[in-house]
């Protein structure tokens, strides 16, 4: 009888241990990924509707003021208040230029400049070139910053919401950190990133357990208007079905083991009288 009891307890413990999740820890292949080359960084290129701050500084305060707009604070929802810091002028700090439907920005004195498809550095170079070519300034220092660019994080994270893209090179890991990490119920093996690429909707799947898979993904670096969705894991899904959750939970297996043990004891006692 003692032997049967030990077997029953061992089986119960084994079954309970099998229900322990193995897919919680990030980067489970770091040793194999050491030395791997990260996918080339994709810089953000401006699109219609994007807004940028363009700050021009010259040796002439009056000329500097001519090319710079008054300061305005921009808000991106409750999670991201954006104010562009820059060089103060007589009019204050800088506001932004919105890329219109044709891909242009309307810049003081210089007129319309085609900005769509350009990076921050390329737009800065374009403004400097136009200032020089049009005889306005040869010594201009032009600084371009993003203003209204953002991404969204939804699903099983601790702080879902809309967050600002403040610089090039922001990654999926930056997005997860901004959202307060995945909840314990989040599926780390299949994080989805939805992206509009030239009018075509694309969906990328990211495995946070695999370092190699992550750093090789074209969705490793964020783009404006990306939507990141963390789906619930199986445990979370089963919580919508009480019976399904109970059948698969550790407490269920422990209760079942206790029931089996009790049944064996009763059978053993009964067999003595048969």
Do 135 and 163 share a domain, yes or no? no
| Residue 212 within a domain | yes
Do 140 and 92 share a domain, yes or no? yes
pLDDT computed for residue 32 by the predictor: 60
| Residue 242 within a domain | no
pLDDT band at 116 (very low <50, low <70, confident <90, very high): very high
Q: What is the CATH number of the domain that holds 126?
A: 3.30.1950.10
pLDDT band at 181 (very low <50, low <70, confident <90, very high): very high
Q: What percent of the chain has pLDDT over 90?
A: 39
For residue range 72-101, what is the model confidence (pLDDT) as tens digits?
A: 444 444 444 433 333 333 334 446 899 999
Q: Is the pLDDT of residue 267 over 50?
A: yes
Do 258 and 183 share a domain, yes or no? no
Q: Which residues of 112-137 are buried (b: 16+ CB within 10 A; e: fewer)?
A: ebebbebebeebbebbbebbeeeebb
Residue 182 is given by DSSP the state B
Task: Say how many C-beta atoms besides its own lie within 10 A of residue 98's C-beta.
Answer: 15
| Residue 79 within a domain | yes
Helix and strand counts by DSSP (H, E) for the chain: 9, 12
Which of these three, 130, 146, 162, is where a domain ends?
146
Do 160 and 209 share a domain, yes or no? yes
d(CA 167, CA 222): 10
The total domain count for the chain is: 3
| Residue 240 within a domain | no
Provide the domain limits for residue 268: 2-19+249-272
d(CA 229, CA 191): 6
| Residue 173 within a domain | yes
Do 34 and 10 share a domain, yes or no? no
Q: Is the pLDDT of residue 195 over 70?
A: yes
For residue range 56-75, what is the model confidence (pLDDT) as tens digits?
A: 988 888 888 888 766 544 44
Q: Rg of the chain over CA atoms, in angstroms?
A: 29
For residue range 133-162, what is the model confidence (pLDDT) as tens digits?
A: 988 888 899 999 999 999 999 999 999 999
For residue range 202-248, what is the model confidence (pLDDT) as tens digits?
A: 999 999 888 888 888 899 999 999 999 999 876 666 666 655 545 55
pLDDT computed for residue 89 by the predictor: 37
Do 36 and 170 share a domain, yes or no? yes
Do 192 and 127 share a domain, yes or no? no
Which of these three, 88, 120, 146, is where a domain ends?
146
Q: How far is CA 50 from CA 47, 71, 139, 147, in A?
A: 6, 17, 28, 8
pLDDT computed for residue 271 by the predictor: 66
Do 182 and 141 share a domain, yes or no? no
Do 59 and 132 share a domain, yes or no? yes
Alpha carbons within 13 A on the beta-carbon side of 35: 2
Q: Is the pLDDT of residue 17 over 80?
A: no
């Amino acid at each position: 009888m003692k032997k049967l009891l030990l077997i029953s307890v061992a089986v119960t413990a084994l079954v309970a241990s099998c229900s322990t999740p193995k897919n919680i820890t990030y980067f489970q292949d770091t040793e194999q990924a050491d030395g791997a080359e990260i996918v080339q960084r994709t810089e953000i290129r401006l699109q219609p509707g994007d807004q940028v701050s363009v700050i021009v500084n010259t040796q002439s305060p009056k000329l500097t003021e001519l090319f710079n707009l008054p300061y305005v604070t921009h808000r991106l929802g409750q999670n991201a208040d954006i104010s562009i810091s820059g060089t103060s002028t007589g009019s204050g700090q800088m506001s932004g230029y919105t890329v219109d439907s044709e891909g242009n920005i309307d810049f003081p004195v210089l007129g319309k400049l085609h900005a769509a498809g350009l990076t921050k550095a390329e737009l800065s170079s374009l403004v400097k070139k136009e200032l020089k070519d049009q005889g306005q300034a040869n010594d201009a220092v032009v600084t371009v910053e993003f203003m209204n660019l953002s991404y969204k994080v939804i699903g099983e994270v601790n702080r879902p919401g809309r967050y600002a893209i403040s610089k090039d090179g922001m990654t999926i890991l930056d997005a997860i950190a901004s959202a307060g990490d995945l909840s314990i119920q989040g599926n780390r093996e299949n994080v989805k990133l939805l992206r509009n690429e030239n009018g075509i909707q694309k969906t990328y799947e990211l495995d946070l357990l695999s370092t190699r898979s992550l750093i090789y993904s074209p969705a490793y670096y964020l783009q404006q208007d990306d939507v990141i969705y963390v789906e619930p894991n199986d445990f979370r899904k089963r919580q919508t079905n009480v019976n399904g959750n109970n059948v698969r939970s550790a407490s269920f297996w422990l209760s079942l083991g206790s029931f089996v043990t009790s049944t064996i004891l009763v059978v053993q006692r009964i067999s003595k009288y048969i």
